[in-house]
Amino acid sequence: MQSTGRIAAISVGVGIAVLGLKMIAWLITGSVALYSDALESIVNVAGSVAALAAIAYSARPPDANHPYGHHKAEYLSVVLEGVLIIIAALSILREAYFSFLDPRMLEAPVEGLLVNALASAINGAWCWFLITEGRKRRSPALVADGRHLFTDVVTSVGVLFGLVLAVATGIPLLDPLLAALVAVNILWSGWRLIRESLGGLMDEAVPAQMLDEIRSIISANAEGAIEAHDVRTRNAGRAMFVDFHLVVPGTMAVSESHAICDRIEKALKAEVPDAMITIHVEPEDKAKHQGVVVV
């Protein structure tokens, strides 16, 4: 958890450095498209700060008011980042509109594009690292931050290509047109982030593939039981909640059924270390014959 927080803190520093480079590129050229790219980097920094705060808060242990922990705080940071992205997109559209009314050629385009390309290269390397580490650590905030940076990289590449075309053809209207396209792309990115985070806040079940793995683990480690049914899952940040009913022979001792539960929990936690598992033990007359068959 501490290393996850360090990654989020480094992400803030990387975001500030990239923002500085993109602002320099915009000031050198006066390009509204590069302005839009720089504005998205401001959102990146704000999103990274929100992710850092959310990760720190979500690491707090359960308390009397939050007995299941604070894991969902990461989803709130993702919602905030989505809202910031939408605000940035609307601001870019405003600047693009005024640039359409008064188009002008770029100043010092080569220098500005080179600076922006350097910023994009840094962003590309860092977004790959964030997504990889975020998935490994089951951190929605890190993954969302990485995905947003990837959108920024794609946007920057498109802007660079378009501005090279604008300079080569001498058509200044390409600059605000690119800015408008960037804004639409950013709006879509913001909507996706909000939609995915709402799924977590609404206790969305784990993906079907992961559910199949969970059922297989239960089946393979429930020797002595009859079946497991009503298997339910939900994600909450890094944590995954799993609960189900385990049917055992009516004559089985409590200690034996408890040993089976311990074995299943150990196997599930080996696959998902942050899993929170609840098992309700039932006698054989409660079998539904439609759950997980014990092998």
- Of the listed ranges 115-119, 196-200, 220-224, 259-263, the one predicted with least confidence: 196-200
Helix (H, G, I), strand (E, B) or coil at 132: helix
In the prediction, which pLDDT does 293 show? Answer: 59
Distance between CA 56 and CA 23 in Å, rounded?
A: 30
Per-residue model confidence as pLDDT tens digits over 76-103: 777 777 777 777 777 777 777 777 777 6
Please give the average per-residue pLDDT across 179-187, as a whole number: 76
CA-based nearest residue to 237, from 86, 85, 68, 84: 68
In the prediction, which pLDDT does 150 show? Answer: 80
Per-residue model confidence as pLDDT tens digits over 106-135: 666 778 788 888 988 998 899 899 888 888
Residue 180, pLDDT > 70, answer yes
Mean pLDDT of the chain, nearest integer: 80
Supply 36's token pair: 């839009």
In 61-173, where does DSSP find H-type helix? 73-101, 109-136, 140-169
Higher confidence at residue 160 or residue 227?
A: 227
- Of the listed ranges 25-29, 38-42, 106-110, 186-190, the one predicted with least confidence: 106-110
pLDDT confidence bin for 295, thresholds 50/70/90: very low
Cα-based distances in Å from 172 to 26, 100, 158, 182, 208: 15, 9, 16, 16, 50
- Tokens 């803190």, residue located: 9
| Residue 285 · residue 247 · CB < 8 Å | no
| Residue 141 · residue 55 · CB < 8 Å | yes
Higher confidence at residue 226 or residue 61?
A: 226
Torsion of the alpha carbons at 155, 161, 166 and 169, rounded to the nearest 10: -160
Phi first, then psi: what are they for 71, rounded to 5°?
-60, -30
In the prediction, which pLDDT does 218 show? Answer: 92
